[in-house]
Amino acid sequence: MKNYLLLAMFSLSLCTSTVRCQTNEPPSCPDCEFDETPKTVSWRVTIPSDTVRGQRIRISGTIFQSDGKTPAAGAVLYCYHTNATGRYAKLGTEDRRSYAWWHGYLRGWLKTDERGRYEINTIRPATYPSRDAPAHIHATVKAPGTTGGQSINDFVFQGDPLVTDTYWYRTELTSGQLRYDGVELKPGPNGILSGTRDIVLHAAYDRDGKNSGLPVGTEYPAFDPSHVWGADQGTRACPMCKYGHR
């Protein structure tokens, strides 16, 4: 018992010294991945080194603001994915308190140009060994002036038998993200498979916080409902005006 207490006290002293204890929990701070963004990033990113084996792919497109027309210039996109065996490969030297440990080394950042363009150069990820999800690339976008990032639908690929209606239903149910066609990869120069995908941000993430909302002093517009059910179906009757006296 005495030896056990001494061991426990020794372990505690390690945790409270300058050497911090390792943890098996992911980082708890929101959008920590953007805190690790390199100081210099381009609208193009190449994730793997030449020594990483796998089918090279290139995905490009435009990130738009929520209107679907205005390019989201200066938006940072962070992405990560599995290797050719379906695992989030690590170097073994990563800090377990960082996303480098949890996401692996196949990850990267880019920043859209003034036209909202982006380009990801990497290898084609493999599905998990359990085959409970299609091959995919995780991605989060953070627009200028916003305090948080928007997780977008994973990059999945046309022709993957695991991209099913059930997969999309589960995605819509758990994340609220709508389905899309998936990225169609076509053979290109130097054996690279290329595909495109345009991304439209949610309104909460695309605006500069300094210019959000109505200008100060502007009269706030009245509530103007549109009834789709009930006695007032098809009208814009004001509930308080019509029923407030009850």
Structural domain including 98 reads: 25-211
Is 170 within the bounds of a domain?
yes
Distance (Å, whole) CA 21 – CA 221:
54
Share of the chain above pLDDT 70, in %: 78
Q: Is residue 186 part of a domain?
A: yes
Per-residue pLDDT tens over the stretch 99-133: 888 999 999 999 999 999 999 999 999 999 999 99
Asked if the structure places residue 187 within a domain, the reply is yes
Per-residue pLDDT tens for 31-86?
778 888 889 999 999 999 999 999 999 999 999 999 999 999 999 999 999 999 99
pTM of the model: 0.74
90 vs 92: CA distance, rounded Å: 5
Asked, for residue 104, whether it belongs to a domain, the answer is yes
Q: Is residue 150 part of a domain?
A: yes
For the chain, how many structural domains are there in total? Answer: 1
The CATH number of the domain where 166 resides is what? Answer: 2.60.130.10
Enumerate residues 6+ apart whose C-beta is below 8 A from 181.
158
Residue of higher predicted confidence among 4 and 149: 149
Q: Over the stretch 168-190, which tens digit does the pLDDT of each residue have?
A: 999 998 887 889 999 999 999 99
Buried b / exposed e over 172-202, threshold 16 CB at 10 Å, is eeeeeeeeeebbebeeeeeeebbbebebbbe
The 10s digit of each residue's pLDDT in 192-216 is 999 999 999 988 777 555 555 555 5
233 found inside a domain: no
Query: For residue 232, what pLDDT is reported?
Result: 83
Residues in the chain: 246
Tell me, yes or no, whether 98 lies in a domain: yes
Q: Is residue 41 part of a domain?
A: yes
Alpha-carbon distance of 31 to 37, in angstroms, equals 11
